[in-house]
Structure 1
């Protein structure tokens, strides 16, 4: 694989204008170096013949993309190799993708840093948003918007991270060595050592098993998510607040901050039990304890670090009367501890106090009740005591610098790190309530009651904020909400926990009925009581994944938009401060895509300064794996939340939505008909299982949650969860959930007669007079632009030739032809509407990334097809043959996921 990175130098007429040929020199150098090191490792371990076979396949798939070699030739070459050799080759390409992804991440970080020169306002930054809003709203209007600003990312454990934790850790070590190697101040000897360490770590990556041998349990998933907090989030959050504070007014760091702590992280990891019997009350308890251990450790370390550096001399900056009295009281209660601090830090009262605070945080973590804090509020009181004393002493930079960062961290994370949310299916509650009323309770019902008791325990230990919400999947009526409150009273009586029961609307019918359900909720005494106590705040969750799986991407997008608009109007009419919780997946087929564009596409009035969204699977590490990337992501989302909440933006969006409403309905209606005609056809679920590695994906041990509801092969899409549905289609290179039906919808809007005929080949169909209106909608309506851009991205990751080979495995040519015809139609009309000559023409960086990966993903797809074809064949296989083929299949699944950079 010494030449594995040389594709970008091998251009053809097809690639002459490709983004691949525009790869920046820095990125090209990193990709080439990492590829060469991987090639050395492969040759050392597997011999030059293995490296030669990898190169043969690499060159063959590149030639096939250039139409210089047939795809059948590539398949025949792959079929000649023994299975064990194919497994080694799959490992090689998978490792290569991990390294390419790493190189691109490093390049992105360099670009972010190079743009931040301070000479101009970065687009989509907090400074840019504040600048616009000051002009539009004035200082008072901006202050009101900032006061209500809220961003709530919720981490979920949906199994969309295909890498083992050991592999992810190996990649992190390679990342650290690459940063060392590229450091601008490194000498020759330092670079040589970093190069040697890179080779060592890549060798270890090659030797590390790519596949998990044991299934993850929920607590493994909790611990995995903690890495994002430990390495990124705890340090990044105060930088966000500082950035906002600097944008709001001059003098940040020398005055009381104008920016509040507006971010609150949530988590479903260890709390989401819908369809996951592995999440129990005990698991939920352990999840909170793990979170608390991490955040208290981080707070203790930060407070100790700041305290040790706060060498403020009493004679120059005397402590306030209140701080002196607090130290005296502390000495009375804990004489030995305070005496030791005074001995180590004489005449440095502020330093003594912060180190005493650090000791109290440590005691809180150890559960030493004599010294521990009872609540985060008590800790904040002590930190503000130090801050106000520093201000009184004239040390304002010390007061509003690192001490303020610590205050922001406590306000954001508390002692619980993330608000753990419980989710369960409405049918489970209905069954439990029947049993409770009848008096004979099953094991499942006892677990529901135990969960509610555990929520009460968590709140008593860490405060209500640690576990404040209970989400009800498939909410159909207000009775589904009332059931949770009644069960809580049965479990604990007057000691029932303080919870907001959140309805989750997922199907098209449920989305349409959502406002009626909320009206019914207002009649519930428990809901009225919560609204009276929380400032009439109500939360509603919208499910993107299941609605898209049911309706198709275009119809689901409009249905969700309509639900948002109706709910926003309902909230205004009922004097309710509504927060919409967007259950978006990482993949485009599950509502994914750039988060800031998604915010700006929301219905007018539905944001109002508040945005809550799930962050799932590989998205967590893509967005929060590095501080620079996390900072940029949060700034972009917050920028969009602020701008989307203004009257001017809401007005423009409302006008565009009204102008193109009938057009959107034509697109959505025709697209849904086309989508349902395929997915609801007799035999479709069985066919899908044959053409994709759906069954085998369960063997990847991606997460603790089962891939489907119930046992056996899925009889309908209702049996299948949205994640494996999207994951499996990505593996086939079809990406059907991200675009299917849109072409039929666009055709209905441009040429209704041709749409109704439905028999002409896509190339024979010419867009009609409606095309100009679609183009205007794309330019003026953010929702429609987001739909088209996301579909374009999904189409760009589709490969028609390879997809056709997968689709042929099902023995239903009618289904295969239907899918490919819709692909051709959708691709043609998406390009016509966007005005692009090729997919992703206007998104140079993304286009380059996709085209760089495509040939190597092709290689893994051919290896996967070989395994899948043999496993689907009628010829009997020995147990050993089946095991080796399944290993090859699963390795290729892992590699394709790394190459496409999205799974489910």
Structure 2
């Protein structure tokens, strides 16, 4: 079957399995009598259709809402309108869940394991070619994939809703109409939002649900499959690793405290033991033979105690568990014909993967906070004697020679759980206590439980070395400092300086000794979100690519193994999209043996919400990493002309984006026309929407997620495309258009960047805000945004030789279009409510309209699954 025929076949399946079934079950769903207003389900289809029709006429949201009630529900007052709008929202946000579940239930029919880019496809090639199989086996000895779950609030379903979704997916797979009907009723009665903001521990537990129910099985299954085909049984490299940020990420969430970290580490340990115990119960039902009673009893007692009655001083029991399993395995082989050995091997594999910690708990803090902690230490005579009080004013090179690396066991009591205390003293105490706590976590759960400290906003080598000194002041010993210190370079300027910073570290005598202790491996994190906010989509992508090339070269020069950790969000504006294609496009100029990336927001549920989808997306990343390393000459190796071409486009895009950022209307437009100011009331996250929460809004303080979310709620998605059109236009004007076309056809990196940009644009809908073109205050600004959108769209279609955005990805295009149609009424309601909120002086109505806006945010955010 040709590629075109395969695509047509998949389109047919999508229409049949997803679209048709959604229409069927949605009609069932709308007849369920859930709410106070009995005719809501009957009226909603008319409302949705009315919104589509009037939006196409470029009517304003206020005109649409008012004319709808006048036509369909006449003689009702404003409060009755609001009441009905709330009921519409309740239905629509559940329609989103229904569509998600139907799409997920059809996953295996839409994605074939033998397709190009899958692990099965790679295995088939290796099976037919012994030399390729040997190369892959060798590659796997030094390949790793680390998925790091973060609690960034771009999607937040309560665990109760996640459970219903899981059961609904299963029922839909079998078209069990009775179960589907009951689950839809349960869904209708189950709250979708939190009455209060979740705590960092709540967020951790929400994400642990995915680890326990999907990642635990998916990673073990893939590892087993790799072991069956390739010779990797005896390699020490685990291949797969999980990371975890909730409870450890202080820069992302200033409400995280030492006690939060301690609780999350203990919870991760307890949950993994519960997973082991659950598997053991299956094993116990099968292994009923003589001779294994004692090790089986010991293993059961160990697992049960740590799963249900954990002790705070319990140690790392990974080897104990493996030894007991080995004893049982020997008995099975020697005396029972090896029956059920596969169950032993499966549990042993999981224990090797997850140990007593499940996932590595990363600690992250901003360099500005860490500098304050170091300054505090310099003032303590028991920590540092004879230091100049002018340390802060010293040149960077003198700072590097001033740091003494003396060991002092400075006492600090665990505590600091008062998240309302944002003083420097509280932050200093928390940092020092957390540093000591990491040692305790390692002792109890194993070294891998907590061995990475990420320094956000890292600008100098001293930011790393000062933190190392803080560890030595907190009881750690140089020869036992089992911590990887990881700089995070994110802004455009920091990315440019990253290689110079790392060179200073690589040539520093103490840091060289520390790297030897850590196996001469350096991990460097490159963030995407803030670089997009800082310089725009094109500049962010190119800055990160350049930084990777430079950092790979300087690290290789000093004989150090490099692992990049990519901070990528769900939408393309925050680094998401077809992530595996970025890794597949990495040439030999960029270190790619170890893939590490953040998994967050809607990406968690959309790509890893079930074992089936998790396996598929993890396998794609494995395939991308292996094929990129095996055939670097077949992938991106941009020549100097290509680099100059992209750099020119990035510079032009950056210029336009900076003009936008400095426009006097920029922050005012976001504050008044999007839900930005109301996001803190959404109770989606435990963290504030911006840094320096009590200060007036500044763009540099606004968190990238709040920035991107606000533009997506406006349905304008500016961070995902703005400046691209102008950059392409310049290439036309300077006679370089054909070079750009050739680059798109030949470069996987550039093609992926452009395709993801088109995906971001496909989720924009300027018709909703078209009325602003005539607005006295915002008309000129809106028109400027729309003109860049139109220019970008026209040139991207010309560049790709297509007539519609995402024409080459029709299934994903249809999926996005369906979601956008479902939530269009929510967007209309939101903009109507924001307008009324700005107009009314009635305090009670203001409060009601604020709640109406917030409720729409949930549905719009949750519908924005990153499916492509």
TM over 0.5: yes
> Equivalents in 1 of 2:122, 2:554: separation in Å?
28
The residue that corresponds to 2:724 in the other structure is: 742
In 2, Cα distance between the equivalents of 1:22 and 1:65?
Answer: 30
Moved more, 601-610 or 833-842: 601-610
1:745-804 residue CA offsets vs partner (Å, 9 max, x unmatched): 11111223xxxxxxxxxxxxxxxx433222211111111101110011011111121143
**Is 2:868 aligned against 1:886?**
no
1:313-712 map, 5 Å: 345=289, 348-350=290-292, 353-365=295-307, 374-388=316-330, 390-391=332-333, 395=337, 398-399=340-341, 401-439=342-380, 442-492=425-475, 494=477, 498-602=482-586, 604-646=588-630, 648=631, 650-712=632-694
Q: Is the partner of 2:796 in helix, strand or coil?
A: helix
CA contact (8 A) 1:543 1:584 kept: yes
Shift of 1:29: 4.2
2-structure distance, mates of 1:73, 1:882: 19
Match of 1:328 in 2: none
1:25 alignment counterpart: 16
Q: Is the 8 A contact 2:270 2:306 kept in 1?
A: no
Cross-structure match for 2:117: 124
User: Given the alignment, which residue of 834, 844, 862 partners 1:898?
Assistant: 862
Alignment root-mean-square deviation, CA: 3.0
C-alpha separation in 2, matches of 1:366 and 1:660: 59
Q: Is 1:91–2:32 an aligned residue pair?
A: no
CA distance change for structure 1 residues 891 and 532 in 2, over 3 Å: closer, same or farther? same
CA distance in 2, matches of 1:366, 1:20: 48
Shift of 1:428: 0.6
For the structure 1 residues 582 and 247, does the alpha-carbon distance in structure 2 shift closer, same or farther, using more than 3 Å as the test? same
1:108 is matched with which residue? Answer: 107
Q: Residue 607 of structure 1 contacts residue 641 of structure 1 at CA under 8 Å; is this kept in 2?
A: no
Answering whether residue 169 of structure 2 is matched by residue 175 of structure 1, we say yes
Equivalent position of 1:150 in the other structure:
144
Gapped regions of structure 1 (runs ≥ 5): 1-16, 183-190, 312-344, 753-768
Change in 2 beyond 3 A, CA 1:72/1:416: closer
Distance verdict in 2 for CA 1:163–1:234, change over 3 Å: closer
Note closer, same or farther for the CA distance 1:850–1:792 as it changes in structure 2 (3 Å cut): same
Instruction: Return the offset for 1:108.
Output: 1.6
Deviation at 1:142, TM superposition (A): 2.8
Rounded Cα–Cα distance in structure 1 between residues aligned with 2:42 and 2:149: 43
Query: Contact 1:242/1:259 (CA < 8 Å) preserved in 2?
Result: no
SS at match of 2:106: helix
Q: 1:364 to 1:75 in 2, by over 3 A?
A: closer
SS at structure 2 position matched to 1:269: coil
Distance 1:519 1:808, change over 3 A: farther
- Alpha-carbon separation, structure 1, partners of 2:774 and 2:69: 17
What is the TM-score with the length of structure 1 in the denominator?
A: 0.84
Residue number in structure 2 paired with 1:240:
222
Q: Secondary structure at the match of 1:540?
A: strand
* Larger mean Cα displacement after TM superposition, 506-515 or 594-603: 594-603
- SS of residue in 2 equivalent to 1:598: helix
Question: 5+ residue gaps in structure 2?
Answer: 1-7, 71-77, 382-423
CA contact (8 A) 1:307 1:351 kept: no
Change (3 A) 1:525 1:229: same
Does the alignment pair 1:857 with 2:857? no
Counterpart for residue 13 of structure 1: none
Q: Deviations over 1:543-595 (max 9, x none)?
A: 11111111101011111000001111112111001000001111111101122
Give the Cα–Cα distance (whole angstroms) in 2 for the partners of residues 520 and 800 of structure 1. 48
1:40 equivalenced with 2:40 (yes/no): no
Q: Which moved more, 1:812-821 or 1:655-664?
A: 655-664
| 2:245 aligned to which of 268, 289, 297 | 268
Match of residue 45 from structure 2: 55
Query: Are the equivalent residues in 1 in contact too, given 2:150–2:599 (CA < 8 A)?
Result: yes
Does structure 2 retain, via aligned residues, the 8 Å contact 1:133–1:643?
A: no
The 3 A distance-change label for structure 1 pair 449 and 799 is: same
* Structure 1 residue 70, shift from structure 2 partner: 9.2
CA gap 1:415/1:259 in 2 versus in 1, 3 angstroms: closer
**1:286 aligned to 2:250?**
no
Q: Is the 1:565–1:603 Cα contact (8 Å) retained in structure 2?
A: no
CA 452–78 in structure 1, closer or farther in 2 if over 3 Å, else same: farther
In the TM superposition, residue 893 of structure 1 has moved relative to its aligned partner by: 1.3
Counterpart CA distance in 1 for 2:850 and 2:151 is 25
CA distance in 1, matches of 2:31, 2:214: 33
Q: Which residue of 2 aligns with 1:868?
A: 834
Q: CA deviation at 1:663?
A: 1.5
The Cα of 1:451 is off from its aligned counterpart by: 0.7
Whether contact under 8 Å (2:142, 2:237) holds in the other structure is no
Specify whether residues 636 and 667 from structure 1 end up closer, same or farther in structure 2 by C-alpha distance, changes over 3 A only: same
Contact 1:291/1:418, CA 8 A, preserved across alignment:
yes
Summarize the Cα distance change of 1:43–1:502 in structure 2 as closer, same or farther, 3 Å threshold. Answer: closer
Q: In structure 2, how many angstroms separate the alpha carbons of the residues matched to 1:865 and 1:548?
A: 26
Instruction: Select which of 792, 798, 801 maps to 2:758.
Output: 792
